[in-house]
Amino acid sequence: MSLAGAGLVRAPKLLAGGGRLETTTVRLAKKIPVLCNAPQYIADDLLRAEGFTDIQYIASGPGAALTRKIADEAIDFSMGYAGPNIIAVDVGEAIVNLADVLGTHKFAYDVWAIR
């Protein structure tokens, strides 16, 4: 994570336009204490600033185990490697993959998977 993102931790209340959220609960994969997951450490404060009040962290393993929890709707979104997610989409799972715009791994294939 770059130091530029550090200022976002104290984000003002409700940055998003349009008032109240339709849902205020979000389920993330449990934080894994490694440097490459640093963006996840500030997600809690940023989500609360956007109006989420019930932020849950669900235990899961990495790779295919994490992708399975997303496909089974136990986790709403999380960071992860693209490989297991691509395989899941190939067999028909309804998972959306977003590119790693944060640059957590310059030469790896990271994605944010969303159900």
59: CATH: 3.40.190.10
Between CA 55 and CA 64, with CA 61 as vertex, the angle to 5 degrees is: 110
> Is 79 inside a domain boundary?
yes
| Number of domains making up the chain | 1
> Is 35 inside a domain boundary?
yes
> Is 14 inside a domain boundary?
no
Spatial distance between the Cα atoms of 57 and 86, rounded to a whole number of angstroms: 23
pLDDT, one tens digit per residue, over 45-98 is 899 998 999 999 999 888 888 889 989 999 998 887 778 888 888 999 888 877
> Is 15 inside a domain boundary?
no
Between helix 64-71 and helix 82-90 the angle, nearest 10°, is: 50
Pairing verdict, β 110-114 and 77-81: antiparallel
pLDDT, one tens digit per residue, over 7-46 is 444 545 555 556 788 889 999 988 777 777 777 778 888 9
> Is 90 inside a domain boundary?
yes
Residue 89 is part of which domain span? 3-9+23-114
Pairing verdict, β 54-58 and 25-29: parallel
